């Protein structure tokens, strides 16, 4: 069971404690289902990037490896770390990678435990953060990529994970969040009511997390990026969100952007009018242009 840092203020004093979240097992059950769906969706490498993809296996223990795609045909010392969505895998974003490569930047697309070629293993919020942390350290220590030369792009659950990484690893240059998961309370009501999401969840639990304010608050501590943003100091944040997203509610992206703005790290909030949650052609083009803009800023600072 995951532990969550709970903060409460009283008489101008802040109290912190780690408490087990009683709802985490249901979220992890859904992540397991998503990882299976992602395995089914694995596709072959497209000809345009076939010779450019290097499959990287990073051993972190005797029984545990982290897997990633390293795409860097120009041997750039600047990288985009890409963190994919909840029911996808690294092979599903190849057109997106192709677009980013126009900027002559390296791409490090990280796979999560239980996903893609790592299928069959149990995934969780904790394991996703663990895999990303180890992949980042490989990029930093083995390839000598400096944090100020790194742009993290996170989609859906990868958005939450990107915020967590920026909190843990200081001085990452920029973070681009595409339809990010900012809290389990900002998953759309339609999505929560989906039978696949509720699989294994008792009716009383479903009622508690949707109707009771206290239990909804506890449930929302899972994958809570909003709580973490205030600890990020030196990373620029860009948020891209559709107003008609059917998975992550736009209000969550707005709240995250407000928290980042209050902390002085929000660069841009881009709200799109068309429906859809996935990275489509418009989100791809916007992200590619943002990456190009950020790279120019990096070069100007040198």
Mean pLDDT taken over the chain:
85
CATH level 2 (architecture), domain 22-301: 3-Layer(aba) Sandwich (3.40)
How many other C-beta atoms lie within 10 A of the C-beta of residue 264?
9
Residue-level pLDDT at 188: 63
CA separation for the pair 100, 107 (Å, rounded) = 8
Q: Which of 177, 175, 180 shows the shortest CA–CA distance to 248? A: 180
Residue numbers in the chain where pLDDT is lower than 70: 1-20, 29-30, 32-40, 118-121, 188-200, 301-302
CA separation for the pair 232, 186 (Å, rounded) = 21
Residue-level pLDDT at 112: 87
Residue-level pLDDT at 21: 73
Residue-level pLDDT at 162: 96
Residue-level pLDDT at 197: 60
Break the chain into its structural domains and give their ranges. Answer: 22-301
**pTM for the predicted model, two decimal places:** 0.87
CB-based contacts of 269, cutoff 8 Å, min separation 6? 238, 239, 241, 253, 254, 257
Residue-level pLDDT at 1: 41
Task: Encode pLDDT of 209-266 as tens digits.
Answer: 778 788 777 777 778 899 899 899 899 999 999 999 988 989 999 999 999 999 999 9
């Amino acid at each position: 069971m995951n532990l969550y840092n709970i903060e409460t203020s009283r008489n101008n004093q802040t109290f912190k404690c780690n408490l087990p979240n009683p709802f985490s097992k249901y979220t992890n059950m859904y992540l397991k289902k998503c990882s299976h769906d992602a395995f089914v969706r694995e596709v072959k490498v497209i000809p345009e990037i076939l010779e450019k993809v290097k499959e990287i296996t990073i051993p972190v223990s005797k029984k545990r490896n982290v897997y990633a795609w390293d795409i860097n045909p120009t041997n750039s010392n600047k990288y985009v770390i890409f963190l994919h969505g909840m029911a996808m895998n690294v092979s599903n974003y190849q057109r997106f990678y192709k677009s980013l490569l126009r900027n002559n930047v390296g791409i490090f697309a990280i796979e999560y435990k239980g996903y893609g070629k790592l299928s069959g293993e149990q995934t969780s919020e904790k394991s996703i953060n663990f895999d990303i942390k180890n992949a980042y350290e490989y990029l930093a220590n083995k390839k000598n990529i400096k944090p100020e030369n790194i742009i993290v792009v996170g989609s859906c659950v990868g958005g939450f994970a990107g915020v967590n990484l920026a909190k843990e690893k200081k001085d990452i240059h920029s973070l681009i969040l595409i339809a990010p998961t900012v809290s389990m309370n900002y998953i759309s009501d339609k999505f929560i009511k989906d039978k696949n999401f509720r699989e294994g969840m008792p009716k009383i639990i479903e009622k508690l997390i949707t109707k009771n304010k206290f239990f909804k608050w506890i449930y929302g501590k899972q994958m809570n990026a909003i709580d973490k943003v205030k600890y990020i100091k030196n990373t620029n944040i860009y948020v891209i969100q559709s107003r008609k997203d059917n998975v992550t509610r736009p209000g969550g992206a707005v709240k995250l952007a407000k928290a980042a703005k209050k902390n002085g790290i929000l660069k841009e909030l881009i709200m799109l009018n068309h429906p859809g949650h996935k990275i489509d052609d418009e989100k791809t083009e916007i992200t590619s242009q943002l990456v190009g803009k950020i790279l120019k800023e990096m070069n100007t600072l040198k």
